[in-house]
């Protein structure tokens, strides 16, 4: 089959949905399918278009009230969407986060093939989160009726969709590439080696890295054989580095963006791995 995957976020920026889409594309190709990913073109992107990537419109950076930011697909010309779908003739289209403006809704409106949708996240139960959900519900009414099948990666996100549509939602949790982690080898610490706490993820407010640093500070005051390694970039990085510098917290390293190979290398050395909290 020829399958079109839709990612509404900046595909070239780290993130759970982006990694999910890329891994799904690899697995579908391994099973013999032809797969292309439709995603907005990031503002300011230069260079050659990656293979099997279709740029659909452009994206704009949006900062949400829950202290996270995304590159979301901006308005696309109708004839541009229709031309792409007519040219590609997909047998199935799988849209991730179909409620995120606006690429998913426009593709849904003009696609003639079956459409699968996956809902990844649920906003927190706060004033800001509930406000976003209210807007999301109004926007999504034009999307739900066009979906052939609906899946979700979490129970909470599935319940949210069920309550508003009455539809069956299949829960398919995020997968893990076991081959990637099978490369990890047990490491033997030599006398005097530091115990390593590792964080890998975006550096933005809702991830709570500030609290990890403050907790580590208390630990480091009592133990001189620990270190904190923070891998990832984001708009909070400078603030977090300032906290470490101002409070003179010892043995904290900021590595910035790291490759998948580097992540495995870091995991080999870590005694404790901290993953960012996910809503839903």
Cis peptide bond upstream of 236, omega within 30:
no
> Is residue 123 scored above 60 in pLDDT?
no
Give dist(CA 64, CA 41) in Å, integer: 20
pLDDT, residue 132, reads: 52
Token pair of 87 as six digits = 């040219």
Q: Which of 70-84, 86-100, 101-115 has the highest mean pLDDT?
A: 86-100
Distance CA 39, CA 55 (A): 5
108 pLDDT higher than 70: yes
By three-state DSSP, how is residue 35 classified?
A: strand
The band of 56, judged by pLDDT with boundaries at 50, 70 and 90, is confident
What's the predicted TM-score (pTM) here? 0.71
The pairs formed by 10-16 with CB atoms below 8 angstroms and a separation of 24 or more are: 10/39, 10/40, 10/42, 10/59, 10/70, 10/71, 11/37, 11/39, 11/53, 12/42, 12/45, 13/42, 13/71, 14/201, 14/202, 14/232, 14/233, 14/257, 15/202, 16/120, 16/174, 16/278
Taking the CA of residue 13 as centre, how many other CA atoms within 13 Å lie in the half-sphere pointing to its CB?
21
The yes-or-no verdict on residue 11 having pLDDT over 80 is: yes
In angstroms, rounded to a whole number, what is the distance separating the alpha carbons of residues 201 and 168? 32
- Residue 99 in tokens: 């409620």
User: Residue 143 is encoded by which pair of tokens?
Assistant: 């999307």
Q: Which helix (H) or strand (E) element contains residue 269?
A: helix 260-269
């Amino acid at each position: 089959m020829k399958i079109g995957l839709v990612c509404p976020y900046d595909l070239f920026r780290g993130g759970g949905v982006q990694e999910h889409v890329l891994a799904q594309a690899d697995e579908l190709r391994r099973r013999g399918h032809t797969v292309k990913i439709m995603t907005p073109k990031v503002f300011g992107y230069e260079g050659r278009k990656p293979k099997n990537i279709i740029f659909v419109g452009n994206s704009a950076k949006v900062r949400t009230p829950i202290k996270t930011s995304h590159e979301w697909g901006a308005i696309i010309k109708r004839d541009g969407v229709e031309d792409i779908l007519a040219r590609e003739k997909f047998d199935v289209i799988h849209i991730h986060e179909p409620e995120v403006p606006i690429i998913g809704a426009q593709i849904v409106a003009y696609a003639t093939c079956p459409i699968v949708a996956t809902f990844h996240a649920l906003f927190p139960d706060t004033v800001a989160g509930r406000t976003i959900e209210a807007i999301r519900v109004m926007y999504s009414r034009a999307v739900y009726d066009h979906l052939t099948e609906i899946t979700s990666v979490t129970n909470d996100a599935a319940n949210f969709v069920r309550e508003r549509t009455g539809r069956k939602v299949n829960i398919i949790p995020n997968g893990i590439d076991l081959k990637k982690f099978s490369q990890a080898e047990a490491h033997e610490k030599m006398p005097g080696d530091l115990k390593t706490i590792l964080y890998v993820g975006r550096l933005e407010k809702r991830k709570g890295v500030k609290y990890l640093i403050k907790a580590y500070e208390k630990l480091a005051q009592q133990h001189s054989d620990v270190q904190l390694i923070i891998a990832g970039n984001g708009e909070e990085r400078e603030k977090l580095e300032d906290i470490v510098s101002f409070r003179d917290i010892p043995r904290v390293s900021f590595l910035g963006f790291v490759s998948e190979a580097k992540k495995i290398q870091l995991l080999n050395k870590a005694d404790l791995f901290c993953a960012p909290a996910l809503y839903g």
